[in-house]
Amino acid sequence: MKDIEESPITRNGNSLILAYDHGTEHGPVDFEPMPASADPTHVFDVGRHDAVTAIALQKGLAEYYRLWETENDVEGGAPLLVKLNGNSNLAAREDYYSPKQCSVRYAVEELDAAAIGYTMYAGSVHEDEMWTDFREVQEAARDYGVPVVLWSYPRGRGIQENEEYTGQTDPDVVAYGARLGLELGADVVKCKYPGSQEGWQALEDVVGELKTVMSGGSKRSDEAFLDDVSSTLEVGGNGLAVGRNIFQRENPEPLLDKLETVIFEDESA
Ligand SMILES: O=P(O)(O)OC[C@H]1O[C@](O)(COP(=O)(O)O)[C@@H](O)[C@@H]1O
């Protein structure tokens, strides 16, 4: 774990990461509620809101982002977080696995990434391969001095077949995933909301000083979403990595304004 207070992906110690890797993870179906969001430049523009401390993109979109910045003379856009691995909903797999499509070297040297992201599915039969991949990623990130955000999403047979767990948002499962972020050397761990403030507290209790961000989840009302975000911040959470709750809105600006107040100015929702 690094001290990442000086990193551009944090502000006052917290982060709001705009995640836009859904075209990979879920496919174009996620753009249907707001068709303009299929156009990456629309979402790149959303990312210019002051509240956004990083935009998380897969390699191809990261290349597009840099091109868009140059062609449009954009200054002060969101720092780039390159998501190194990902998988599609089209894949036929015996269990969850997220292969790497980008190296840390390419992300930093060619794309000028301010941070890198990696998804880990602890609990899958492919967990061992992912640990090996992550070890290389984490060590290369240390060499380049860029922070590592771990999407820690335990899922797969090890979770399904364990009768103690109700599923991937079971508070014990989420807390275990968060702890793995600390154990494996992440600088920020991104976790599913476990359904309650008590659940998030349980996670905070086992991660020490590691930064934690809540994964947005499916779209809900402004009020419901802000309640969830606030409930994590009140017990030590450090913000958000969010996709659909932002880009599926016709005008995400009012919600981003509120999130900015709640996450960075320590005011209640
Ligand atoms: O694997 P899942 O649970 O379908 O979710 C993956 C998606 O969720 C995220 O982690 C967060 O996005 P949302 O805020 O839309 O939930 C994305 O980065 C990723 O595409």
pLDDT of residue 207: 98
Q: How do the domains of the chain map onto residue ranges?
A: 15-264
Report in angstroms the alpha-carbon separations of 7 from 10, 80, 146, 219, 224. 6, 12, 8, 29, 30
Answer whether 0.90 is exceeded by the pTM.
yes
Q: Is the pLDDT of residue 157 over 60?
A: yes
Q: What is the largest CA-CA distance in the chain?
A: 55
Cβ–Cβ < 8 Å for 22, 242: no
Report in angstroms the alpha-carbon separations of 158 from 97, 102, 164. 13, 27, 11
Q: Which CATH architecture has domain 15-264?
A: Alpha-Beta Barrel (3.20)
The DSSP annotation for 69-129 comes to: HHHTT--SPPPEEEE-B---TT---SS----B-S-HHIIIIIT--SEEEEEE-TTSTTHHH
Q: pLDDT per residue over 70-129, tens digit each? A: 999 988 789 999 999 999 999 999 999 999 999 999 999 999 999 999 999 999 999 999
Q: Which atom of ligand 1 is nearest to the CA of 24?
A: 20
pLDDT of residue 256: 98
Per-residue pLDDT averaged across 206-221, rounded? 97
Mean pLDDT of the chain: 96
Q: Which atom of ligand 1 is nearest to the CA of 242?
A: 14
Could you tell me the pLDDT band of residue 4, with boundaries at 50, 70 and 90?
confident
pLDDT of residue 83: 98
pLDDT of residue 269: 55
Catalytic residue annotation: 153, 190
Q: Is the pLDDT of residue 24 over 90?
A: yes
Compute, in angstroms, the gap from residue 215 CA to the centroid of ligand 1.
7
